[in-house]
């Protein structure tokens, strides 16, 4: 991209200039955790050094400043995803806790025999919480298969619905395949059948625009640490009327209206679902990360990453024996692959010796691995600070590794 100054962006990330095993680091594990720019780290440091005090209800200045910073992030997230109200923005520890909140709380409104539809490409965080609910409540889990290119079988999806289907939970973007699912179509069909929809947006939030009103999502979950922000902070968006009907997820301070041994009442939204002391410093710094993304522009980021994806894909396909899993036409900047009969772990270890950081294994998506008849893959995932030169270094290292493992 002509106006995309990746070199200037990289100056915000000191870690990108370090060496690993004597070689320049090429960090391609962004789907697991992105790196954090100085501006966000500075915001964390400011929180600890200037206004570290527990939030809400405090009358002293530090508490009020910390509360204001955290609530400013809530308002920023509301605008970022185009929600109606800050009441619909729940802070969690991450996408995993957000989905568990939905399964544990909204799940209490489901009955034995009610059906929940998932897909074979889901992360374990969007499978196991529903299995736990299945054990507790006797719900029925149905699974949507995929086509060979990694796209959802939408005919199979529609055919799974019955009059007992109550909820659909699906990833916006696959963490393994990069497939960008047609969530607006999925949500519209589910709503036509009277079901609500929970979207795992962990892999989408750093790469694509999110508009919960435009898509009609009932729940949408995502994490700060994949968005150049602090770890341990995430968000659950939920439609207000659904959150109002749901029982609390956890009990403790902050989420109460009044407590006595005769009975307890709950706080208003969003605090009903935020028991205990939150990571108010991380939450405040998350706003800085969102501002940082917006300062670059999501469209510009997506275009840059798409260029890297195409460049890498074309180059990798020239390596003998290399096969890519996930070739959907609409795809995020993730490439999962294997080389010949080489084990994914061996490939990853050898790449690390050459300074290339990738992810190996089943990527918390074992049912998807079973679908393809493999144990795991090597995964390279790109971010706004990666470069064409890094892609070339990665592919050159891959060629060397492929020759070693042949």
Tell whether 269 and 362 lie within a shared domain.
no
**Residue range 257-286: average pLDDT?**
93
Tell whether 99 and 238 lie within a shared domain.
yes
Cα 188-244-101 angle, rounded to 5 deg: 75
Strand, coil or helix: 314: helix
pLDDT band at 3 (very low <50, low <70, confident <90, very high): confident
User: Do 272 and 251 meet the contact criterion of CB atoms below 8 Å apart?
Assistant: no
- Residue at which a domain ends, from 277, 294, 311: 294
Catalytically annotated residues: 364
The C-alpha R_g of the chain, in whole angstroms, comes to: 22
pLDDT band at 235 (very low <50, low <70, confident <90, very high): very high
Tell whether 63 and 207 lie within a shared domain.
yes
Total domains in the fold of the chain: 2
Tell whether 302 and 378 lie within a shared domain.
yes
Average pLDDT of the chain, as a whole number? 97
Residue 156 pLDDT greater than 90, yes or no: yes
Assign residue 194 the CATH number of its domain.
3.40.640.10
Q: Dihedral sign for Cα 156, 159, 164, 169, please.
A: positive
Residue 360 pLDDT greater than 70, yes or no: yes
pLDDT band at 58 (very low <50, low <70, confident <90, very high): confident
Cα separation, 337 vs 359, whole angstroms: 11
Tell whether 79 and 61 lie within a shared domain.
yes
Tell whether 96 and 18 lie within a shared domain.
no
Predicted confidence at residue 1, as pLDDT, reads 54
Tell whether 112 and 128 lie within a shared domain.
yes
Cα separation, 191 vs 201, whole angstroms: 19
Q: Is residue 368 part of a domain?
A: yes
> Cβ contacts of residue 160 below 8 Å, gap of 6+?
115, 117, 142, 144
Residue 141 pLDDT greater than 80, yes or no: yes
Residue 194 pLDDT greater than 80, yes or no: yes
Q: Indicate yes or no: pTM above 0.95.
A: yes
Tell whether 228 and 305 lie within a shared domain.
no
Give the structural domain span for 156. Answer: 41-294
Predicted confidence at residue 16, as pLDDT, reads 98
Cα separation, 118 vs 141, whole angstroms: 7
Assign residue 337 the CATH number of its domain.
3.90.1150.10
Beta bridge partners of 196: 167
H or E segment and range at residue 312: helix 298-316
pLDDT in tens, 79-121: 999 999 999 999 999 999 999 999 999 999 999 999 999 999 9
Tell whether 316 and 332 lie within a shared domain.
yes
Tell whether 234 and 214 lie within a shared domain.
yes
Tell whether 112 and 223 lie within a shared domain.
yes
- Residue at which a domain ends, from 273, 294, 315: 294
Residue 155 pLDDT greater than 60, yes or no: yes
- Residue at which a domain ends, from 294, 323, 353: 294
Predicted confidence at residue 256, as pLDDT, reads 86
Q: Is residue 1 part of a domain?
A: no
Tell whether 180 and 313 lie within a shared domain.
no
**Residue range 42-55: average pLDDT?**
96
Predicted confidence at residue 2, as pLDDT, reads 62
pLDDT band at 305 (very low <50, low <70, confident <90, very high): very high
Instruction: Count CB atoms within 10 A of the CB of residue 324.
Output: 17
pLDDT in tens, 315-338: 999 999 999 999 999 999 999 999
């Amino acid at each position: 991209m002509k106006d995309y100054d990746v070199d200037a962006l990289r100056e915000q990330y000191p870690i990108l200039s370090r060496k690993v095993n004597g070689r320049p680091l090429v960090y391609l594990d962004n789907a697991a955790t992105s790196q954090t720019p100085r501006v966000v780290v500075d915001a964390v440091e400011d929180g600890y050094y200037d206004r570290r005090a527990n939030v809400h209800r405090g009358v002293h200045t530090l508490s009020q400043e910390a509360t204001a910073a955290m609530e400013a992030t809530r308002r920023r997230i509301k605008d970022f995803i185009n929600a109606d109200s800050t009441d619909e923005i729940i802070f969690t520890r991450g996408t995993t806790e957000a989905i568990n909140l939905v399964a544990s709380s909204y799940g209490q409104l489901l009955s034995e025999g009610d059906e929940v539809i998932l897909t074979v490409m889901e992360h374990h965080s969007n499978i196991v919480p529903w299995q736990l609910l299945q054990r507790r409540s006797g719900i029925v889990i149905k699974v949507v298969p995929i086509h060979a290119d990694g796209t959802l079988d939408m005919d199979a999806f529609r055919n799974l619905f019955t009059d007992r289907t109550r909820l659909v939970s699906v990833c916006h973007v696959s963490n393994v395949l990069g497939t960008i699912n047609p969530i607006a179509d999925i949500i519209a069909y589910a709503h036509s059948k009277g079901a609500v929809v929970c979207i795992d947006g962990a892999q989408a939030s750093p790469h694509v625009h999110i508009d919960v009103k435009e898509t009609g999502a009932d729940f949408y979950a995502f994490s700060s640490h994949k968005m150049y922000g602090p770890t341990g902070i995430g968000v659950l968006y939920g439609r207000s009327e659904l959150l109002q009907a749901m029982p609390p997820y956890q009990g403790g301070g902050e989420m109460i209206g009044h407590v006595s041994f005769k009975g307890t009442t709950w706080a208003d939204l969003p605090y009903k679902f935020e028991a205990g002391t939150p990571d108010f410093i991380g939450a405040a710094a998350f706003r800085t990360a969102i501002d940082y993304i917006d300062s670059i522009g999501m469209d510009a980021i997506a275009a840059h990453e798409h260029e890297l994806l195409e460049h890498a894909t074309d180059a990798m396909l020239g390596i003998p024996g290399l096969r890519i899993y996930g070739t959907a036409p609409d795809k995020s900047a993730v490439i999962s692959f294997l080389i010949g009969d080489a084990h994914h772990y061996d490939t990853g270890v050898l790449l690390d010796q050459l300074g290339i950081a990738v992810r190996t294994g089943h990527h918390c998506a074992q049912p998807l691995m079973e679908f393809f008849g493999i144990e795991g893959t090597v995964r390279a995932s790109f971010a706004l600070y990666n470069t064409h030169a890094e892609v070339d270094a990665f592919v050159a290292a891959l060629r060397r590794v492929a020759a070693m493992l042949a």
